[in-house]
Structure 1
Amino acid sequence: MKKIAVVLAGNGVFDGAEIHEATLTLLAIAKSGAAYQCFAPDIKQAHVVNHITGEEMPEIRNVMVEAARIARGNIKSLTEYNAAEYDAIVFPGGFGAAKNLCTFAFDGTDLTVIPEAEKAIKDTVAAGKPIGALCIAPVLVTKVLGDVKVTIGEDEGTFKAIEQIGGTHVKTTHGEIVVDERYKVVTTPCYMLDASIVQIAEGAENVVKQIMKML
């Protein structure tokens, strides 16, 4: 059975992993006949957002502890990820990918990527294994790899930022994927577009199907 690592950046669209994207990725992996293991960085969350009001809350939370809610407790620290033990790695989106895995939400094109995420991406590429990235997550993959072909959909400001940090952006719509053959990176826009949960499922499934083909 193929094993796919899924990196979660917390729990909730505004400050963590986008829950629909994360859960539907896990479902797509299971439906494909593969197994998954969730990972998250064991670090302090950038901030906590009230998902009703959109306002920041005076709380401190841990990214891995929050992500464990999605993983039903079965989660490992991202520092434990070993590319030799997995066939692929997938990064769902949500603002957590741009706040907790990297600083794109705060620093734009001057972003930095947390060391454990950077190492996971580089090690996976070095092992010749596929990487999936949904929604805004292609930004951090681009920052690490440089000249890689990705998509975040149609948002001009974001895809220009991707091009500024060295990537090649391809415009896409719901469910479409872009494949970089050299790095084996598969991306799809998901909630970077005004999408329904059905369209999110389609995007996640298409990323996973392409990864399984590559394997």
Structure 2
Amino acid sequence: MTPYISQIEEILRRTPGSRRWHIRPVGQVDIYSLSEIITDSFHSRVGPMGWFYPFLQIGITEDLRHRLKSELPHYICLVAEEVTGNNPIPSLNRHPPIGTVEMALKPSHFFQRAHKQHYYLSNLAVQSKYRRQGVAQKLLAGCEQIALHIGLKDLYLHVLEDNYQAQRLYHKSGYHLEKVDPDWSSYLLRRPKRLLLRKHLTS
């Protein structure tokens, strides 16, 4: 069962990591900022694809808005914000998000496992000027706190085989290769394969 927002905020206060960053649930006012962060993280502004960049951001914005309005069961979107001043917990006046991650329960067959549902993480993204400063690690740690609170001990995510920077982040955070997704397009079109990573949590 997905915790209520107030429960999530309380759970996230126990998140380890730098106190410079605060993790909280997403708000409707965050959607446009998050779409900018996600689009910039996964799509290029240069070259031929640069022409499609504004349309990609519009699509991502609408997808985010739909997921939040739908109030999907077992779906949680977290954002990271920078803590300013001496107060370790930001006030009700939220700061602009600088990073995000989404988590949702997936059925066991999604992971080709025999039983149970597991949390699957997606769209982990950090604003470019805040990368390599512990923001992504703090977001991942927040996901772990929520999963443990619910009683789930495994987290899954995908990463492309040629995204070495992301792979280093995940391996450093305790994720290990579960399997390589079979995909004929990776052979026929020479696209990078998707790697499914898993982390087993200990309370």
TM-score (norm: length of structure 2): 0.35
Please identify which structure carries the higher strand content: 2
Structure index of larger Rg: 2
TM-score (norm: length of structure 1): 0.34
